[in-house]
Amino acid sequence: MFYPKLVATATVQVFLVSVAIGYYDFPTPSFVVYFGRLVNESLDRLTRYACAIAMHQKERLASTFANPEQPLKVFSAQELSHFGGNRDSKGLYLALLGRVYDVEKGARHYGPHGTYHVFAGRDASRAFVTGDFSEDGLTDDLSGLSNEELVAIQEWVDFYGKEYKLVGVVQGRYYDAQGRPSKHLKHLEQLLQRAMEWQQQQNAEVERFPPCNSEWIQGQGGRVWCSQNSGGIKRSWVGVPRRLFTPGSRQSRCVCAKSNGPPQEGSQATEGFDTDRGDLDYPNLSEFPNCDPKAVSCNIDSDV
């Protein structure tokens, strides 16, 4: 986030210097020409970088749902159950989103005494993110999962695609008897795309509203405060603690809001608002009760 703002500021400065030079008919100094070229080159690189990030997201999904170069075996659920890693099993496989991976090299994790043995010989995609290892929870049905959980599913898909060999697909929810993607898989692809876009928005929000520092002392209560590195987000401003609410929810989290200067890039500025209040007029922010609105530290109760 820092570099785009720096380049934007530099661009404005170059523009103002150029206007002054033109107005007073001064000869253009060579450093202005050089700096202008530098800014233009930086902007071009940043644009290419942003495009590369978007392309990377598309490539992640493309690799998830791409048809393999070589025809793969199509397993029935019954056949796959014979690859559970037990004494009489035919091997050690698991399935994720209908894609079957050979996890033999991870036998200490997926074998009979391994932490993840419950996933062997079946497609229990949902349990990867819910932690529900009951028979009802060990399912490949991902309906109703949150964006956060779907992003985690994508991360598991990336992991298995990188670490283990793909050996087949399971006939059922995601592939038909010929190994072709089903309508459920195509719908899931859309859901994952939306979830990844949501994640990008969340990352941008964390950059704009970094988490507060916090502590809780038995018998004394809690405290939240802001610093130039709170939430692990380095920045030039400190900010003040505020509660940031999720639209349509009563849940909130403590964030550090910029309290002076103009709103940050991406803010929805409203005509008539004070332009020296930073992001304090952001509609989903709320002050902490019994705390000075300008304070960088607030004492809080357990029920806040």
Q: Which of 153, 175, 202 is the last residue of a domain?
A: 202
Of 130, 131, 129, 109, which Cα lies nearest the Cα of 120?
109
Tell me, yes or no, whether 135 and 232 share the same domain: no
| Residue in the block written with tokens 């659920």 | 77
Tell me, yes or no, whether 107 and 223 share the same domain: no
State the CB neighbour count (10 A cutoff) for residue 12: 11
Q: Number of folded domains in the chain?
A: 3
Strand duo 240-245 + 285-286: pairing: antiparallel
Structure tokens at 187: 């719908």
Tell me, yes or no, whether 12 and 125 share the same domain: no
Angle between helix 30-65 and helix 147-163 axes, rounded to 10 deg:
80
Tell me, yes or no, whether 32 and 141 share the same domain: no
Tell me, yes or no, whether 172 and 105 share the same domain: yes
Tell me, yes or no, whether 146 and 198 share the same domain: yes
Residue type at 6 in one-letter notation: L
Q: Which of 17, 46, 65 is the last residue of a domain?
A: 65
Tens of pLDDT, residue by residue, the chain (304 residues): 444 444 344 443 444 444 444 444 445 444 444 444 444 444 454 445 444 444 555 555 555 566 666 678 999 999 999 999 988 889 999 999 999 999 999 999 999 999 999 999 999 999 999 999 999 999 999 999 999 999 999 999 999 999 999 999 999 999 999 999 999 999 999 999 999 998 888 788 888 899 999 998 888 789 999 999 988 889 999 999 999 998 777 888 999 999 998 888 655 544 445 578 889 998 889 999 999 999 999 998 755 4
Helix (H) or strand (E) holding 161: helix 147-163
Q: Specify the 3-state DSSP secondary structure of 222.
A: strand
Please return the burial class of 245, using the count of CB atoms within 10 Å of its CB with bins 0-12, 13-18 and 19+. middle
Q: How far apart are CA 94 and CA 103, in angstroms?
A: 7
Tell me, yes or no, whether 131 and 108 share the same domain: yes
Q: Which domain holds residue 35?
A: 2-65
**CATH number for the domain including 171?**
3.10.120.10
pTM for this model (two decimals): 0.62
Tell me, yes or no, whether 135 and 227 share the same domain: no
Tell me, yes or no, whether 144 and 184 share the same domain: yes
Q: Which of 202, 235, 266 is the last residue of a domain?
A: 202
Question: Roughly how many angstroms between the first and final C-alpha of the chain, as a whole number?
Answer: 31
Tell me the residue ranges of DSSP E strands in 40-98. 73-75, 93-96
pLDDT of residue 60: 58
Q: How far apart are CA 141 and CA 199, in angstroms?
A: 22
Tell me, yes or no, whether 55 and 93 share the same domain: no
